[in-house]
Chains A and B, each alone.
Chain A
């Protein structure tokens, strides 16, 4: 690698805008992904605050046109999934720490890595353009939900096409990224690092990448059919020409269900590292953890129709999907119990990352329990498209995955920036955020059980009480986000230097052997793993 660098005259590093626009350095690209994810998280979060403001009281408050409300929820979903969680978790932390953890000098295809990132801003731009161009039902923007079901997505103006193309580009970006991760993890591990010694975060990224590789082409296919249906007269999803709108749902959820594991598996990896670090113990049942993640990934592909119980499937099909879905709780349970077993008897220090992770385990378990409830087609018939389902997927994604994201942030921020943040602010961020998100989403279980449907701008007065509390919760969590931003600002302002390993003996993956921040090119001589 030394000769490689010398050959191309990259002994130093490019400066200014060239350093980022032309970047082939996994750490710079990771940083860009993190910043990109953070900015979009703020936009998506702002949309959700407006949604909660509207729903705070019955009647129409802020939106003259109910269509615009649906546009907001659609955009909130798409932005949070594709432009916040995926870039931050996979692109950001994945790029930063997979090469560091496996002892590689960089990713396998650094230029491809650059393409993966720089496809995202145009995709985001298309999505934002979609908000301001003519969509379905005359208003601007696409309001058919992030799932883009036809016939909702079959008509309407260019807003729908922009959204579809935007998702296409994000898909290409993720695909290239996942190919890069697979190659890096399979080929570039340091000598002595066998697959069974691979850190769990790298394992989680490997599995995530395989899920992306297998599921994204199916989404791409479905979206292409949708585009040709809209623009070139095909009738894949149009019954008048012999097509079937249900086919789209099958294809979409064949992607969509693995997608939720794509979002949460990297978090599983992060959580394992943090728990082991702050319990000063190696993770309990390493191999069990690895194979639990693999089986979650595999089973994730054969449960898609549990999103579609209400379409009129026959009983036997429903019985299969119920069983397969509930089976997923076995490997997930293995992971939860292994985390708890890792903590058991450890010398736990409640530093911010650990606190966030414990919050994650609690919230993810709540979301998992409601997931088992919803897996049953009989109950699902009543709860389908109610706020119960909204509460469920926000508990696993917005609270589970996002708490994991913050845990990872507080765990690796000193390594990334070289500065230590204020523990007080980080703890305060946790407390406020924890109270806020539970206040938003716990009452939504009650609303859903009482029958309040999702994707409506208004609701009967009977639902007013819990909706009010839910909205107050969203303001509390907004305060949490502000504390977070202030914490980042404060860390860069104070410039407290962080040690190469600020977390003590428990942190024993390779990234902590490097200085904080790591040098521009690391592992010029490859480390040997015993």
Chain B
């Protein structure tokens, strides 16, 4: 009787261990998923232009077409950054497919050299998949010397495929095309933090996005999606 019971007991123990290990496996799956969501979320936004993330292109292969749209420029600055940051032009009218170069002007109002990075966004959100940047000051960190004034370039084009977009056509029919707003926010960057970030964030991102992306794009985790 004792033998039967203890063999039953060891059988139960084995089964219990199996369920336990299964649960631990599920735990590790979920926790890796939560960390994987960071690059996935970023990748998803960049690939689809979701939520106003403009796309990055290596060059402009598109043909310039008829349509004209207004692009407005917006600038914001984090309060800790002693800079003045304004676009040289408030807005430009561009043809679809036309490569356009504009400048933002930064003036450092302090007596020390300060570094910053800019984040960016395009509204309306549905337009952002068609907004392509070829070169931008926001791809790299920017350092401005004491009381120095710098003009920072942005090169972009609007993908002519925009005319096939359903929302766009609706606006076109109604006769009032919306303007695109390109917005930047500059944040300060201190050296110690930048080093840590390079170590912790970018190495992970580089592994996920792969080495075929241009260096400047890797800095902000932006891959060429074309």
Chain A interface residues (CB < 8 Å from chain B): 1-4, 108-109, 175, 178-179, 182-183, 186-188, 213-218, 220-222, 225, 228, 232-236, 239-242, 244, 247, 250-251, 254, 312, 314
Contacts and interface: CB of A to CB of B under 8 A. Distances in A.
A213 B185 CA distance: 39
21 contacts: A3-B2, A3-B6, A178-B23, A179-B24, A216-B30, A220-B31, A220-B34, A221-B31, A221-B33, A221-B35, A222-B34, A233-B192, A233-B200, A236-B38, A240-B78, A240-B119, A241-B193, A244-B41, A244-B42, A250-B41, A314-B51
A242 B41 contact: no
Contacts of B51: 312, 314
B188 interface: yes
Contacts of A228: 200
B54 to A, nearest CB: 14
Contacts of A178: 23
Interface string B182-212: 0001011100110011001100000000000
B200 A232 contact: yes
Contacts of A221: 30-31, 33-35, 37
Interface string B20-42: 10011011101101110110011
Interface string B98-139: 000000000000000000010100000110000000000000
B9 A4 contact: yes
Given A182-B23, A214-B30, A251-B34, A242 B16 contact: no
Given A220-B34, A247-B41, A232 B23 contact: no
B156 to A, nearest CB: 19
Contacts of A250: 37, 41
B125 A314 contact: yes
B221 interface: yes
A235 B19 contact: no
B30 A218 contact: yes
Interface in B48-96: 51, 78
B177 interface: no
A183 B2 contact: no
B161 interface: no
Contacts of A108: 16, 19
Contact of A242 (B27, B31, B193, B220): B220
Contacts of A233: 192-193, 196-197, 200
A457 B166 CA distance: 47
Closest 3 CB pairs of A and B: A221-B34, A240-B187, A217-B30
B24 to A, nearest CB: 7
B9 to A, nearest CB: 7
A119 to B, nearest CB: 16
Determine which residue in B15, B19, B31 has the highest number of CB atoms from chain A within 10 A of its CB, and name it.
B19
A3 B5 contact: yes
B225 interface: no
A247 B51 CA distance: 12
A104 to B, nearest CB: 10
Contacts of A182: 19, 23
A183 B23 CA distance: 9
Given A218-B34, A247-B38, A179 B119 contact: no
B163 interface: no
Determine which residue in B28, B187, B220 has the highest number of CB atoms from chain A within 10 A of its CB, and name it.
B187
Nearest to A214: B30
A222 B38 CA distance: 10
Contacts of B5: 1-3
A4 B200 CA distance: 51
Given A235-B197, A239-B187, A251 B27 contact: no
A217 B27 contact: yes
B23 A213 contact: yes
Nearest to B3: A3
A233 B194 CA distance: 8
Contacts of A232: 196, 200
Given A3-B2, A233-B197, A239-B185, A187 B19 contact: yes
Contacts of A222: 34
Given A4-B9, A218-B30, A251-B34, A187 B16 contact: yes
Given A175-B27, A240-B188, A241-B201, A225 B20 contact: no
Given A4-B9, A179-B23, A314 B126 contact: yes
Determine which residue in B19, B34, B188 has the highest number of CB atoms from chain A within 10 A of its CB, and name it.
B34
Contact of B20 (A109, A241, A247): A109
B57 to A, nearest CB: 19
Contacts of A175: 27
Contacts of A236: 38
B170 to A, nearest CB: 13
A10 B19 CA distance: 27
A109 B23 contact: no
Nearest to A112: B20
Contact of A247 (B16, B37, B197): B37
Contacts of A218: 30-31, 33-34
A186 B185 CA distance: 54
A233 B191 CA distance: 11
Nearest to A254: B34
Given A218-B34, A242-B119, A242-B201, A186 B27 contact: no
Interface in B136-178: none
A213 B27 contact: yes
Contacts of A235: 197, 201
A314 B126 CA distance: 9
A186 B22 CA distance: 12
Contacts of B33: 217-218, 221
Contacts of B200: 228, 232-234
A188 B126 contact: no
Determine which residue in A2, A3, A188 has the highest number of CB atoms from chain B within 10 A of its CB, and name it.
A3
A234 B185 contact: no
Contacts of A188: 12
Contacts of A312: 51
Given A213-B26, A239-B185, A239-B187, 6 more contacts: A2-B5, A215-B30, A218-B30, A240-B119, A242-B117, A244-B41
Nearest to A221: B34
Contacts of B125: 314
A286 B38 CA distance: 42
Contacts of B126: 314
Nearest to A6: B2
B20 A179 contact: yes
A340 B24 CA distance: 39
